[in-house]
Amino acid sequence: MRGWIAVCGVVLLLFPVIPQLPSHDSDGSETLASQDPSFAMVEMGELANVTVTHEGGVEYSIVLNLDTSVESALLGVSDVVRQVTLVEVDIVDDVTRVNFSLNGTSCSCLYWVYIQIATGEYLYEYRVEFLGTSPHTPFAVITEDGGRYVRNVLAIEGEVFTADENETFEAGFSLCTSESFLSGTCATMLEGIFNPMQDYATVPMQWDWDGNKFSITLSVVDNNDVVKDGIYIPYISIRGDNLLSSHTKLSPVTIDTTEPEVIIIGPEAIDEQSGAVILDGSHSADTITDIHFSWVITEPSGAVRGPVENETGFVGNFLYIIPNQAGVWQFTLTVTDYAGNRNTTTHNMTVTNIVPAAVIYIGGVPAENGTMHRLPKNDNWTFSAEHSTDVGDDADNLIYIWSFDGEEVCTEVTCIIPYASMSGIHEMKLEVRDDDAASDSVTIEVVIFGSSSDPWSEQVESSAFSGMIDKFGIVSISLGMIILVLASTLTIWTIGGRRKVATQEIPKWQSGKNT
C-alpha cells in the first residue's frame, strides 16, 4: 500500500539529520550572487564507494574508495530514524578507514560523502544500509530539494528505502510552524500523521511516484492563504508494514511570495558646487530575507550605466555620486530578496550648472574686461587663462577659445601673439566654456607701447603748452599769462620802492665820521 497525507504547519531554524549544502531558489527566480545551488544527492558509485564490515556487536568499520579527481571529502554515517550522526570525519591524505558504533541494536543507516572535485564543484553521494537486528524502520532520503527560498512552487525529490524490498509503506508530507515546534505539538502531529482521525489543515499538492522514487510539488502561490510567508521545515514521514515510522527532516525552507519594499532617499535639486551626493537605499527591506541591491544610473546625456568603483559599497545600499553634468540625473534601484521577488523605484535629481569665470592675465597682471593694455615691444606676448575658474569636474574640462580681432587664433589655456600681428589697436577676446556649454568671456584692447597707434604716447610727447591748451582752453591760458605778467610787474615795482624808503631813513650818525 502506498499513500500520502498532507498536513500544514511550520518550524523555525532546524538542522537536517543529513548535512546539506546551503541552497536557494530553483523555481525560475533570479539567483543572487550570495546564494548556493540547490541541494542534490546521487547514489554512490560515481566518485565514491564504501565497504562496510561488521566488527562484532554494534561495532562496524568503513573502507572508503575515492576517485583520483576528488580534491577533498567529508564522510558521515547517520541513523536516520533516531536522527543522530554516528560518525563524521574529513578524509585527509590516505585516511580511508573509519570505525563507528550503532546507537542501539539496529540502524536504518545512511552513508554519505560530501565531495569537492578538481573543478571546484561540490556534490553528495549516498548509500543506504540496514544494520543490526530486525525489524528495521523504512525511511525517505531526500535526493533534491527546491532550495532554501521559494516564491512559486516548493519541489522535493527523494526515494523511500525499506529493509524488505517487497515491503509496502505509507508516505506523508508535513510542514510545522515555529510555535508548534517550540510547544511540542509538531512532534505530536508527526506521531499521529498516519491516524485518519487527525484533523489538520491540508492543501492541494502533487505526489508523483516511479517505483520507490517520488517527487512532490506544492504551489505556495495558489495556497498562500494557508501556507503564508515564513520559514518552514518540511518532513517526509514513512510507515512500513510493521507500523514503524520515520520522519525525515529537510533543510529549512523560506516561503516568500511578497516583493520587498524599495526606498531611495536623496536630494532632488543641487548645483555643481555641492560635491559628492549620497543616494540612500538602506531603508529598503524585506520582511523575511535579506535583499540584494542593484543600481542603474541614467546621466543627463542619456548614457545609462551601473556604478563604477567607489560609487557604491560592498552591500550596495548606498550610492555615492559626484555629478559632473548639469541636467536631470535618474537613479533606479532594484531590490531582490532571496526568493527572487523584486521591486524597483526611481529618484530624479536636477543638477544646476555653475557658469565658469573667464580671466585674462598678461605677464602676470590681470586684465579686466573692457580695458586697454599697452604692451612693451617684444617678439611675442603670452596671454594666459589659467586663472579662469569653474567648479567640480568642469574645472578640469574647460574649453578655451581666443579670438584676435574677431578671428579664432588659439584653443589652449595660453595664447601667444607674435609682434608681426600687432599693427595698431587690436581686440583680444577670451571665451571659457564648460562641458555643459555654459560660457563666460573677457574682451580687452591691446596696443604696442609708444607706437604711432598708442593714444597715450601722443599725449606724452606733445608740448606742455599744447597739453595745457587741451586741458584748459586758449582763452583761459591767455588770461592766465596776462595775470602772470601784471603780477610780476607789480612785484618788481614794490621791491624798488621799499629800497628807496630804506635809504632815506638811515640816521646821519650811522653814515658819517665821529666829530
Question: Which three-class secondary structure string do you get for 417-465?
Answer: EEHHHCCCCEEEEEEEECCCCCEEEEEEEEEECCCCCCHHHHHHHCCHH
Q: In this structure, what C-alpha cell is assigned to residue 306?
A: 551601473
Residue-by-residue pLDDT tens, the chain, 515 positions: 333 333 333 333 222 222 222 222 323 333 343 344 567 899 998 899 999 999 999 999 999 888 888 888 999 999 999 999 999 998 866 667 899 999 999 999 999 999 988 888 888 999 999 999 999 999 999 999 888 899 999 999 999 999 998 899 999 998 887 777 778 888 888 888 888 877 777 888 899 999 999 999 999 999 988 888 988 888 999 999 999 999 998 888 889 999 999 999 999 999 988 889 999 999 999 999 899 999 999 999 999 999 998 999 889 999 999 887 889 999 999 999 999 999 999 999 999 988 999 999 998 899 999 999 999 999 999 999 999 998 877 788 899 999 999 999 999 999 999 999 999 999 999 999 988 788 999 999 999 998 989 888 755 444 444 444 444 444 454 566 677 667 666 666 665 555 444 444 434 433 334 43
The phi-psi region of residue 357 (left if phi > 0; otherwise alpha if psi is between -120 and 50; otherwise beta) is: beta
Q: In this structure, what C-alpha cell is assigned to residue 143?
A: 535526493
3-state percent helix, strand, coil for the chain, nearest multiple of 5: 15, 45, 40
Closest CA to 155 of 237, 63, 217, 88: 217
C-alpha span between 50 and 248 (Å, rounded)? 23
Q: Are strands 6-7 and 59-66 parallel, antiparallel or unpaired?
A: unpaired
C-alpha span between 247 and 175 (Å, rounded)? 12
C-alpha span between 213 and 381 (Å, rounded)? 93
pLDDT of residue 488: 67
Tell me, yes or no, if the pTM score tops 0.85. no
| Chain centre to alpha carbon of residue 416 | 47
Dihedral sign for Cα atoms in the order 43, 48, 54, 60: negative
C-alpha span between 498 and 256 (Å, rounded)? 127
pLDDT of residue 140: 96
Q: 78 near 248, Cβ under 8 Å?
A: no
Q: Which residues of 309-323 are buried (b: 16+ CB within 10 A; e: fewer)?
A: eebbeeebbbbebeb
C-alpha span between 362 and 281 (Å, rounded)? 51
Burial class of residue 463 (count of CB atoms within 10 Å of its CB; 0-12, 13-18, 19+)? exposed
User: What type of residue sits at position 458?
Assistant: E
pLDDT of residue 186: 81
Burial class of residue 473 (count of CB atoms within 10 Å of its CB; 0-12, 13-18, 19+)? exposed
pLDDT of residue 363: 84
Q: Which helix (H) or strand (E) holds 331?
A: strand 327-337
What distances in angstroms separate CA 210 from CA 19, 143, 172, one per listed residue? 26, 14, 16
Q: Which helix (H) or strand (E) holds 178?
A: helix 178-183
Q: Where are the beta strands (DSSP E) in 121-176?
A: 122-132, 139-145, 149-150, 153-161, 169-176
**Strands laid side by side in the 372-375 sheet:** 372-375, 439-448, 426-433, 399-404, 407-410
Give the position of cell 666829530. Answer: 515
DSSP single-letter state for residue 273: G
